[in-house]
Amino acid sequence: MSSPIDATTTPAWTALTALRESFSPDLRGWFAADPERVESLTFDLADLRVDLSKNLITPEIRAALVQLAEQTGVAERFAAMLAGEHINTTEDRAVLHTALRRPADASPALVVDGQDVDHDVHAVLDALSAFADRVRSGEWRGVTGKKVTHVVNIGIGGSDLGPVMVYEALKPYGADAGSPRPEAPRSAPAMRGGGVGRVQARFVSNIDPTDIAQKTADLDPETTLFVVASKTFTTLETLTNARLARDWLWEHLAAAGVDVATDEARSDAVAHHFVAVSTALDKVAAFGIDPANAFGFWDWVGGRYSVDSAIGLSLAIALGPDVFRELLAGFHAVDEHVSTTPLERNVPVLMGLLNVWYSNFLGAQSHAVLPYAQQLSRFPAYLQQLTMESNGKSVRWDGTPVTTDTGEVFWGEPGTNGQHAFYQLIHQGTRLIPADFIAVANPAYPLADDGRDVHGLFLANFLAQTKALAFGKTAEEVEAEGTTGALVAARTFPGNRPTTSIFAPALTPAVLGQLIALYEHITFTQGAIWGINSFDQWGVELGKQLALQIAPAIEGDQEAIAAQDPSTRALLAYYREHRD
């Protein structure tokens, strides 16, 4: 792998620096002067309508940003990723999450490092679908012969955030398979049984014992299936929770009068109530889960890029394999767009370039993602891992220091909750916070309040906020309403706060796949421009190592306590003094 091109040495960077020096944002003026602005900055990306017109760019800035992508080789690096080159240099791995959503008959077949990738991906997908169908139909039974009612995914990071986010988003699709399914992609799922499916999912991630205790408290062990999801099958949180779940199963089966007194009976119970997803099938077997009930994936799938791998097993069970496949098709539609669209109209590339403009030239340190869809309540949390674990780096892929700021802080809450919490700062604070607003035309639950469509009211807020952020309210406009004195300044809105609006017909599985892939490729674009490896995560290792060293000190091991720094020793003393 060659050294990265230093973006700051390119002519495009020089041009952007000059544009920044004379930059004076004026969305009111730009819209007034250019009747084509909306059209030239609005794009259709599969089912998504993406309006970039309220961003702080002029045609000159847009052109210079596209040149920056050209001069830093973004398209070449994307092609290298698709072809299976080992662009994850620090782990010497290919990066092939895009292969997880290629159609079975994709041509030419993708063969990487001697592996027939398409064949292997579809073999697992078929096995996963068949297993999900067995659970959903009731053919798969618990140890006492009862059907599964709850699937509990035990995983953390990429083995949790993707599944829980997608489950929350698509829960209305999990309703009884006997109900008519909506026709994708334009219609919304009808409100069916409160969105409760034949098998409900829960997600345990935190090693805080509260998590598993609360999530299992009302479950019936005879009808619960645990999915232990861990790429490495070494993660402390996941293995601890898996052992706690196994103990819970045995204990509660015994309490229900089931014989689990012998090793054989206990193994039998585990075989009926535990399955696993991992790249390390030997470790799955060592845990006591039958390898026949394990679903594999590969080291070329990063944890935060893995929701479309077998890590989505709990989704296939709770939502149905067809929904899972529609999700994958959505991802693929965006992959196709990125591979085939020129940079100047390539939506993820343009959005990544905008982020570079804001962070490297306009000083933005964070980026808000504000879904006007309650079902996307976990989308910001999902994006935090995707973006920040990928691009929170200080060295480039050849080990040299970065030459400019990298990854922004991503955050957000669903509208309108955010409006009543932190929007004040976005509207009138001193910091620039670019924000993505995501909305769907059709709600999952079309309710009316006194004859008024509530979803329409909700979306009026989305439109109002993006309008207020872009165009603000001048002092003259405030005074024209009769306000005087010091209150005028307080009630003035500066505007020129950049937003991107992403609209879709409905939150269908395909639309959700498109949204996730969009952000994957935005993240990719930024990483490529900064010359960083967006696919490793060494920054999480030190804390994991130290936790293992500190664990004996927590238990009172004097040698381990003595080895700590003074602050940690004092905190340990407080803990030991207060722990009952």
Positions in the binding site for ligand F6P (CB under 6 A): 156-159, 230-232, 235, 238, 303-304, 389, 537, 540
Measured CA to CA, the distance from residue 530 to residue 532 in angstroms comes to 6
Nearer to ligand F6P, 171 or 231 (CB): 231
User: Of the residues 139, 251, 544, 555, which is catalytic?
Assistant: 544
Q: Which residue in the block uniquely carries the two structure tokens 């399914």?
A: 181
Q: Which residue in the block uniquely carries the two structure tokens 């980026």?
A: 367
Nearer to ligand F6P, 238 or 359 (CB): 238
Residue 254: CB atoms within 10 A of its CB come to 16
Measured CA to CA, the distance from residue 458 to residue 175 in angstroms comes to 25
User: Of the residues 139, 420, 467, 555, which is catalytic?
Assistant: 420
Distance of closest approach, residue 465 Cβ to ligand F6P, in angstroms: 33
- 160 closest CA partner among 320, 473, 354, 385: 385
- 96 closest CA partner among 520, 466, 410, 482: 520
Q: Is 456 helix (H, G, I), strand (E, B) or coil?
A: helix
Measured CA to CA, the distance from residue 274 to residue 548 in angstroms comes to 27
Nearer to ligand F6P, 437 or 535 (CB): 535
Distance of closest approach, residue 230 Cβ to ligand F6P, in angstroms: 3
Residues 511/387, Cβ–Cβ less than 8 Å: no
- Give the N- to C-terminal CA distance of the chain in Å, as an integer: 55
Distance of closest approach, residue 160 Cβ to ligand F6P, in angstroms: 8
Nearer to ligand F6P, 308 or 389 (CB): 389
| Cis amide prior to 416 (ω within 30 degrees) | yes
Helix 321-340 vs helix 509-530: crossing angle, to nearest 10: 40
**103 phi, psi to nearest 5 deg:** -65, 155
User: Of the residues 389, 408, 413, 520, which is catalytic?
Assistant: 389
Distance of closest approach, residue 277 Cβ to ligand F6P, in angstroms: 9
Distance of closest approach, residue 532 Cβ to ligand F6P, in angstroms: 16
Nearer to ligand F6P, 25 or 158 (CB): 158
Measured CA to CA, the distance from residue 89 to residue 354 in angstroms comes to 26
In angstroms, what CA-CA distances link 92 with 29, 55, 112, 234, 436? 50, 38, 13, 20, 34
Nearer to ligand F6P, 55 or 385 (CB): 385
Measured CA to CA, the distance from residue 101 to residue 108 in angstroms comes to 15
Q: Which residue in the block uniquely carries the two structure tokens 């690096």?
A: 77
Nearer to ligand F6P, 340 or 545 (CB): 545
Is residue 251 among the annotated active site residues? Answer: no
Is residue 252 among the annotated active site residues? Answer: no
In angstroms, what CA-CA distances link 381 with 36, 375, 511? 36, 13, 18
Write the DSSP assignment of 118-175 as a string of letters: HHHHHHHHHHHHHHHHHHHHT-SB-TTSPBP-EEEEE--GGGTHHHHHHHHHHGGGGB
Lookup: tokens for 322? 């067809």
Residues 266/237, Cβ–Cβ less than 8 Å: no
Measured CA to CA, the distance from residue 516 to residue 534 in angstroms comes to 16
Nearer to ligand F6P, 98 or 492 (CB): 98
Distance of closest approach, residue 280 Cβ to ligand F6P, in angstroms: 8
Helix 321-340 vs helix 347-356: crossing angle, to nearest 10: 70
Q: Is 506 helix (H, G, I), strand (E, B) or coil?
A: strand
Measured CA to CA, the distance from residue 435 to residue 469 in angstroms comes to 10
Residues 216/200, Cβ–Cβ less than 8 Å: no
Strand partners, 88: 93
Is residue 521 among the annotated active site residues? Answer: no
Nearer to ligand F6P, 88 or 537 (CB): 537
The distance of Cα 201 from the centroid of its chain, to the nearest Å, equals 18
Nearer to ligand F6P, 382 or 462 (CB): 382
In angstroms, what CA-CA distances link 346 with 50, 334, 352, 486, 535? 11, 10, 10, 46, 22
Nearer to ligand F6P, 74 or 245 (CB): 245
Number of residue whose CB is nearest ligand F6P: 303
Measured CA to CA, the distance from residue 332 to residue 99 in angstroms comes to 9
Distance of closest approach, residue 384 Cβ to ligand F6P, in angstroms: 12
Q: Which residue in the block uniquely carries the two structure tokens 């070494």?
A: 234
Catalytic machinery residues: 389, 420, 544
